[in-house]
Chain A
Amino acid sequence: MTANIKLAWRNIWRNKRRTLITVASIFFGVLLSAYMTSMQEGSYDKMVEIVVKFYSGYMQVHHEDYWENKSINNVFDYDQAMVDQLKANTEVDYVIPRLETFGLASSEELTRGAAIFGIVPEIENQLTGIADKIISGKYLQPNDDGVVIGDGLAKFLKLQLNDTLVIITQGYHGISAAGKFPVRGIIKHVSPELNKSIIYMELKTCQNFLGAENKLTSLVVNVADNEVMSKTLKKLKSEIQSPFSVMSWEEMQPEIVQQIGSDRAGGVIMKAILYIVIAFGILGTIMMMIAERSREFGVMISIGMQKTKLATVLFIETLFIGLLGIISGIAVSLPLILIQAQNPIPLTGETAKLMEDFGFEPYMFFSTAPEVFWQQAISIFIISVLIGIYPIVSTLKIRAIKALHGYEKI
């Protein structure tokens, strides 16, 4: 076998140019598909991250009517027993209470719609790390009577630090809630959508303001990742009884899951086309090689080389070409993608605006997930194996005399 491998290795370097061109076509194929996959997966990861990390968390417990009708009337009482029960699950990292509603935010002259988040500052920070996103002023302190607002909202309302923000909305059970709040800090939120509308308020202040003492709209239940979530979700669904309900981010944001699904399917088609092109490239080279070497094969069979051995050598040659392409492709794409992941490509102009309108950062992000690389490696390897069957079949069919005279069309 070692001899076969040695023979195959030497054979492929007998015609350097042919081998290098074939390897190059695979190399570019791997590079391109890895780059594309990385870019796609990177943007999906970012979408999920914005949703999960900066907004919903992996799971949320609500009043069962809340998600259908996000009214401040569909709230529930903060219950330490329930929080403890949730925390009793070892998978659950933390439980974050929130009171969310919408209202009109107003400065001297200007008004715009805003999302009001009543939060417990230090616990909320564990999930979203918003304290680090403060660009001026301070993060909320316990029992703070002020607000932290999005940079976009501050700009729109022409508000500076320590200015007064007026919020008008409807509170619990229809009471009119209107209040003045000093701006303690301005935050650059990762989600452009929230950046333009977010108001963070200390939970107690928010409950007071809305006349909803001790009430919450949601408990964010956070776990390590998606895998842990699907397991925990099942458990929590049976644990959490009416009038409460627990939802995963996928249930809360089905449009994101669908968007990713359809986009990924589009990527699969692109990659399939790419691989078909590569496959026929390799097949062409192999056919050419066999035709060129038909006399050589004739001689070898005539002097007693077994056809099976010859076929094995040719099969290994095909695999070598495939492997060389894969290794070189991965060797170049890995550092390239690692660098790109650190430096996402900024988008400009219309595209950037479109992305922001959808609520995403206008950057092309890259994923360094292992499947970005091994998926390409596996695909090319399977293609090489399949193509490797062709020389096996043709050598087994070879007729030595005709091949010797160069008549055999293989």
Chain B
Amino acid sequence: MTFLILSGSFVSAQDIKEIVRKSDEKFRGSSSSGSFSMTIERPTWSRTISMKSWALGTDYSLIYVTAPAKEKGQVFLKRKNEMWNWVPSIERMVKIPPSMMMQSWMGSDFTNDDLVRESSIVKDYTHKLLGEETVADYLCYKVELIPLEDAPVVWGKVLMWVSKKDYLWLKAEFYDEDGILVNTEILNDIKKMDDRIIPCRMEMIPADKKGHKTIMIFENTDFDVPLKEDFFSIQNMKKVK
């Protein structure tokens, strides 16, 4: 009798993994294309960059900058864990070297590494349910993710909040190996995008820099679009519009 009552509210480890997988997949789809804007906020100024993006699985993505005019035409290509940057004003293809991976991407709070990171929040972590909390009126599972020994992950621990309804990823906190908070991601503005309901606005707040923030707004995204691997090529970087 007691056992039965307990199992009613009990969520197994397998289920948690499933929850995380679903919320992750929601965001990604098997492939996607769309446009988004990125606003970099600093204590004394802010600026916005508009981009188009294409992605295939976790391995391939292409980003084309559409505004501001000065940077229009720049293209970033990610293939597995490598990254290239096409700069039309100097007609140069720059391969981002490993030493520059931890540097800021386009002056934002994201590093180049954030863009190319191969790790999967499903495969590379062990998941543990810590409880339930409410985030922005949504009742959420609070999940602790600890990276596996050999996973290519820079974090020591990740906490994420996934809504019970629709499995929406609403918040995440990234901790370093000493357990100190590095970044917080907050996702909101939940809307129907193509065939699914997802948060369309993401704020990334670095913990150690006061007044610094990067906001991404997904303007429109199509999921499961027909894209092939050869679209994500260096040749195509110069042609894509």
Contact = CB atoms under 8 A, between A and B. Distances in A.
A19 to B, nearest CB: 74
B14 interface: no
A170 B89 contact: no
A173 interface: yes
Interface string A173-196: 111111110000000000000000
A211 interface: yes
The number of chain B residues touching the other chain, given as a range, is: 10 to 19
A173 B45 contact: yes
Nearest to A167: B90
B70 A174 contact: no
Nearest to A104: B94
Nearest to A208: B70
A169 to B, nearest CB: 11
A173 B89 CA distance: 19
A214 to B, nearest CB: 15
A134 interface: no
Interface string B67-104: 01011001000000000000101111010000000001
Given A73-B45, A211-B70, A174 B90 contact: no
Given A73-B45, A211-B70, A174 B40 contact: yes
Contacts of A180: 89-91
A170 B91 CA distance: 17
Nearest to B92: A166
Contacts of A177: 70
B85 to A, nearest CB: 9
Interface residues of A, number: 15
A168 interface: yes
A178 B47 contact: no
Counting chain A CB atoms within 10 Å of each CB, which of B68, B90, B104, B106 scores highest? B90
Interface in A145-179: 166, 168, 170-171, 173-179
Contact of B68 (A166, A168, A175): A175
A175 B70 contact: yes
A130 B218 CA distance: 51
Contacts of B44: 73
A174 B71 CA distance: 11
A73 B47 CA distance: 13
Contact of B74 (A166, A173, A174, A176): A176
Given A73-B45, A166-B92, A170-B107, A175 B71 contact: yes
B107 A179 contact: no
Contacts of B40: 173-174
Contacts of B107: 170, 173-176
Interface string A233-267: 00000000000000000000000000000000000
Given A175-B70, A175-B107, A168 B47 contact: no
Counting chain B CB atoms within 10 Å of each CB, which of A73, A106, A171, A174 scores highest? A174
A70 B47 CA distance: 20
Nearest to B94: A168
A306 to B, nearest CB: 86
A178 B45 contact: no
Given A73-B45, A170-B107, A176 B71 contact: yes
Contacts of B104: 174
A180 B92 CA distance: 10
Contact of B92 (A73, A175, A178): A178
B106 A174 contact: yes
Contact of A166 (B47, B71, B90): B90
A176 B92 contact: no
Interface string B106-134: 11100000000000000000000000000
B87 A176 contact: yes
B186 to A, nearest CB: 22
A166 B90 CA distance: 7
B180 to A, nearest CB: 24
Interface string A101-115: 000001000000000
Contact of A176 (B42, B45, B91, B106): B106
Contacts of A176: 71, 74, 87, 106-107
Contacts of B47: 173-175
Contacts of B71: 175-176
B42 to A, nearest CB: 8
Contacts of B89: 178-180
Given A173-B47, A175-B71, A168 B106 contact: no
Interface in A29-67: none
A194 to B, nearest CB: 24
B75 to A, nearest CB: 12
Nearest to B88: A178
A352 B103 CA distance: 38
Interface in A2-33: none
Interface of B: 40, 42, 44-45, 47, 68, 70-71, 74, 87, 89-92, 94, 104, 106-108
Given A168-B90, A179-B90, 18 more contacts: A73-B44, A73-B45, A171-B70, A173-B42, A173-B45, A173-B47, A174-B47, A174-B104, A174-B106, A174-B107, A175-B47, A175-B68, A176-B87, A177-B70, A178-B90, A180-B89, A180-B90, A211-B70
12 contacts: A73-B44, A166-B90, A168-B87, A168-B90, A168-B92, A173-B40, A173-B42, A174-B40, A174-B107, A175-B47, A176-B74, A178-B87
Interface of A: 73, 106, 166, 168, 170-171, 173-180, 211
The 5 closest A-B pairs by CB, nearest first: A174-B107, A178-B87, A178-B90, A166-B90, A178-B89
